[in-house]
Amino acid sequence: MVKLRTALALAVSLLFAAAALADPSDSNPRVTPVVKAARLAAPAVVNITSARIAERGLDSFDLFLGDSGYFSQPGGRERGREESLGSGVIIDGRGGLVLTNAHVISGATEITVRLQDGREFKAGLAASDPDFDLAVLRLAKASGLPEIRMGDSSDLMIGETVIAIGNPYGYSHTLTTGVVSALGRSIRTQDGAFTDLIQTDAAINPGNSGGPLLNINGELIGINTAIHAGAEGIGFAIPVAKAKRVVAELESAGHVRAAWLGLSGQSLDARTARHLGLDKPRGMVITEIYEGQSAAKAGLMPGDVIVSVDSVAIEDREHFVDLLRNSTVGETVKLGIWRGGARTAVSLETAEFTLDAARAVVLERWGMELSIERGAVKIVTLRPGSAAQKVGLAPGDRLIQIGGARLREPSDFVQGVLRYRMHNTVILMIERAGRQYYAKFSV
């Protein structure tokens, strides 16, 4: 009996000792995997306040405090400080690097970053690429900061739990949960096309932009970037695999190098498709091959139809451009080609779309010779049948802007072609006979 009591006492004491050593959260049903993930990741999530000086027109009814909190005078124009809110995530705690969306800090004259623990830092723009809507900030006098754990976006599963943390409407470190609704989504906005996105039903609101999308382990799998206007439960995030690639290029080159195959093309219409022996008008027909580039070396010719990229069927030219955006310079891509009623495959290595390549596009595809006249860029000659002529341009037209950027000399136009190469279309402002017009066409 004494031995039994001793054994029981020893067992009880060991039980209490084990309980004392155990993590209380392991036995607390309230501490769910979501709670654990939030505790792990939240210290590396930051709120971003971007300030800019904006000028806006006023009318006689604009008499009170506007959105920016500045008193407005009737009539005229007002210059005032405007602030926008966004989110970000620390990807390098030692170097003080923060990853966010490019649109969060676009045009900012002052950027302030606030951590969960209340610390604030002034930030400078280290690098940005609006085409991918990603930017890297460097915090001033910051080191030893918490940083996010990187996850893997290549093996995501439809239906798995995801967590969004951000700064919606200024409510710091707001957490919402949902699931992966779909993968590989493409969306089009006024700023361009975005492909290969993660779709989620986790609530994402204004101010969440640039914040992390996490898996159940608290690891970064995406950067929240967009919502579907007018619809609840439809949000989109840039996969972390793409974000890491873009960040690596931004850090090494200061920009993301656009991949190029040395060809131009246009979408197929039904009539052309039938003429080429295709059942449906899907794909992109090659219109120009540039000498010395990958397409020429591979033996591609005008009239060939690109029907797939790396086994992904091509819908049209825009789809082709979207897919090529996901390629890196020096990567090999496999094109499915329709030629002479038969299908074949060709492998090409992508090259960088350089300034020289942009000049070749202006000369070959656009068929324009440009000069300067009274401080404006003027079309001197135009090749018959060129892309420029097809959209209505003519010799004597003055080119004022490309994509909103003012043109002062021919090289500005070439730079614009380089800048907007990965956009499906670009807006060109033209002046003819003293009147200004807009034309939209593919670069």
Which pLDDT band, with edges at 50, 70 and 90, does 335 fall under? very high
Q: Looking at 87, 128, 209, 294, which residue is catalytic?
A: 209
In a domain, 335, yes or no: yes
Domain hosting 313: range is: 259-352
Distant-in-sequence contacts of 398-401, Cβ < 8 A, 24+ apart = 398/373, 398/430, 398/431, 398/432, 399/370, 399/428, 399/429, 399/430, 400/376, 400/429, 400/430, 400/431, 400/436, 401/427, 401/428, 401/429
Look up residue 79 and give its DSSP letter: E
Question: Could you tell me the pLDDT band of residue 2, with boundaries at 50, 70 and 90?
Answer: very low
Active site residue 103: yes
CATH code: domain of residue 167: 2.40.10.10
Residue with the larger pLDDT of the pair 78 and 369: 369
Query: Do 241 and 326 reside in the same domain of the chain?
Result: no
Q: Per the domain annotation, does 112 fall within a domain?
A: no
- Between residues 202 and 422, which one has the greater pLDDT? 202
Distance CA 440, CA 429 (A): 9
Residue 5 domain-assigned? no
Mean pLDDT of 86-97: 94
Return the closest-CA partner of residue 113 out of 100, 129, 128, 95: 100
Helix (H) or strand (E) holding 390: helix 387-390
Q: List the alpha helices (DSSP H) in 141-239.
A: none
pLDDT at 173: 93
Instruction: Please provide the average confidence, as pLDDT, over all residues in the chain.
Output: 82
- Whether 326 and 401 map to the same domain: the answer is no
The stretch 118-124 carries a mean pLDDT of 93
Q: What are the helix (H) ranges across 66-131? A: 102-105
- Shared domain for 329 and 394, answered yes or no, is no
Same domain for 162 and 241, yes or no, is yes
**Catalytic annotation, pick one of 92, 129, 133, 322:** 133
Regarding whether 182 and 245 lie in a shared domain, the answer is yes
Least confident residue range of 23-27, 113-117, 385-389? 23-27
- Between the ranges 67-71, 130-134, 173-177, 388-392, where is the mean pLDDT highest? 173-177
- What is the reported pTM? 0.71
Same domain, 246 and 263: no
Q: Is residue 68 part of a domain?
A: no
Question: Residue 376 is part of a domain; what is its CATH number?
Answer: 2.30.42.10
- Whether the CB-CB separation of 438 and 428 falls below 8 Å is answered with yes
Is 280 part of a structural domain of the chain? yes
pLDDT band at 219; cut points 50, 70, 90: very high
Structural domain contains residue 344? yes
Q: Among the three residues 352, 385, 400, which one is the final residue of a domain in this structure? A: 352
Stretch 409-424: mean pLDDT: 75
Q: End of a domain among 202, 225, 253?
A: 253
Q: Point out the domain boundary residue: 199, 224, 253.
A: 253
Specify the DSSP class assigned to residue 338.
E
> Does some domain include residue 292?
yes
Identify whether residues 316 and 382 lie together within a single domain. no
pLDDT at residue 228 tops 80: no
Residue 150 CB neighbours (<10 A): 14
For 151-191, write each residue's pLDDT tens digit. Answer: 999 999 999 999 999 998 888 999 999 999 999 888 876 66
Is 289 a domain residue? yes
Least confident of 100-104, 360-364, 404-408: 360-364
- The answer to whether the beta carbons of residues 121 and 142 sit under 8 Å apart is yes
Phi, psi of 402 (to 5 degrees): -130, 120
Residues 6 or more apart whose CB falls under 8 angstroms from that of 300 comprise 263, 286, 289, 335, 337, 346
Q: Which of 72, 92, 103, 423 is catalytic?
A: 103
- The answer to whether residues 206 and 171 belong to one domain is yes
Mean pLDDT along residues 134-142:
91
Distances (CA, A) of 306 to 160, 280, 287, 346: 35, 13, 11, 10
**Residue 131 is a catalytic residue:** no
* Residues 327 and 391 both lie in one domain: no
- 374 and 341, same structural domain? no
pLDDT of residue 68: 31
Verify that 347 and 302 share a domain, yes or no. yes
Asked if residue 425 has pLDDT above 90, the reply is no
Count of structural domains within the chain: 3
Judge contact between 104 and 90, C-beta under 8 A.
no
pLDDT given for residue 17 in this prediction: 45
Lowest mean pLDDT of 105-119, 138-152, 287-301, 392-406, name the range: 392-406
Note whether 278 and 345 are same-domain residues: yes
275 included as an active-site residue: no
